Amino acid sequence: MSNAQDRSATTVTLLADIPSTGHVGEAGARRFPLRGDDVGERSSAFVSFAVDEVRSGRKVVALYPAWRAEDARRAVNFARGALRTDQIAGIAVDLSPLALSLVADQLAYLAPYLPPGMIAALCDELPKHLLAGAWLRTVSGLSTLPTSMRQHVGSYAPSVSFLALCAPTAQVGRLRPDELDARLPFRPVQPVQLLCSAPEQTPTRAFDENLPRVIRPVSTRRLPAQPLGATYWGTGKYVEFVALSAHPQALAYAAGSIRASACAWCGEPMATRPCPFCAAGSTGRPVRLTTTATPVPPPEEPRTMSTRPSPFPTGSPSPAPPPNGEPSPHRPPPAPGSPVEGAPSRVTGPESRTYSR
């Protein structure tokens, strides 16, 4: 039984030439590659779409890469100006193409279950639950992540390669197989799924023999290289990857991690200032979100999100620990009654934020 609304109040779009990974099935973000000879032509398709969505009573959350923001920001401003509305939020996300594609589709998957402000807030929260980056032979052309002069010089050594991460933190380091296990900043909760892609003719042996050995994925999907992958990584020889938890309550846990307050101007739940919709900088009291009870048994084997009717098994016990019995290295295990037990289905008032069982 799903607690989704009949019609989602939020439409998630992605303003960049970043195809879907297909990880959430048909519930993906709407893509606008922004192609054309001038900014008006590149923006026209999104503006028309956003106008129709707002007139139909839905708010639009438009994601775009922070490292390729100019045209997307103009498209969002054109759409807001065409309607003189604050129902369209443009959000820059500083992730690699593969990670951004996954996060956009996860948000679209969550859109029927959460208010628009929470969907916007999850743009910053979901990357904290991923391990995303790339194996690189060289960082001499890498400008989207912090690198040192020593790393640039090391790129010319024939036996050196690098592990660059964009989530949950941005960092670049030498790929030393014997130190990789200790130096990874984060591991998703088991079971783990691994998505990876590489341009044709790119050697992948250094990646295949090291990262999967450390994170121990239960499944690996190889995808076509993202069109903007070489632009982000500064080289045509890379292996881009995203490791994510396949736990059935992983997305509910991420949503429950947000502490939101109602915007003092438009009333949307917001976790950062200013409000992504109306740009107001003040908030009211914390928002309380409630759920309905629909127990769901734990799965017998890892499943992708597209195999479940709802990402939120509401009213069920808190998530089981990883198979090895260890808690998540990113966050402490949730206590009984914590937000991970269910998903918010509606905003009920400005009282303190709690979850009902």
Q: What is the pLDDT of residues 152-164, one digit of tens each?
A: 888 888 888 899 9
Return the SS3 of 261.
strand
Domain residue ranges of the chain, discontinuous segments joined by +: 8-119, 129-256
Q: Do domains 8-119 and 129-256 have the same CATH topology?
A: no
CA 191 to chain centre: 18
Higher pLDDT pick, 310 / 267: 267
d(CA 327, CA 157) in angstroms, rounded, equals 39
d(CA 216, CA 236) in angstroms, rounded, equals 27
73-109 pLDDT tens trace: 999 999 999 999 999 999 999 999 999 999 999 999 9
Instruction: Please give the structure tokens belonging to residue 160.
Output: 């050196």
CA 345 to chain centre: 20
- For residue 279, the model assigns a pLDDT of 87
Instruction: Please give the structure tokens belonging to residue 148.
Output: 């040192």
Amino acid making up residue 122: L
DSSP bridge partners of 240? 134, 197
Q: What is the DSSP letter of 99?
A: H
For the cut 70, the answer to whether the pLDDT of residue 339 exceeds it is no
d(CA 97, CA 229) in angstroms, rounded, equals 6
Question: Among 114, 145, 132, 155, which Cα is nearest to 260's?
Answer: 114
d(CA 97, CA 298) in angstroms, rounded, equals 32
| From 85-89, 136-140, 168-172, 259-263, the region with the lowest mean pLDDT | 259-263
Architecture of domain 8-119: 3-Layer(aba) Sandwich (3.40)
The CATH number of the structural domain formed by 129-256 is: 3.30.1180.10
d(CA 238, CA 225) in angstroms, rounded, equals 10
Q: How confident is the model at residue 325 (pLDDT cuts 50, 70, 90)?
A: very low
DSSP bridge partners of 133? 165, 241
DSSP bridge partners of 131? 243
181-229 pLDDT tens trace: 888 999 999 999 999 999 998 999 989 999 999 999 999 999 999 999 9
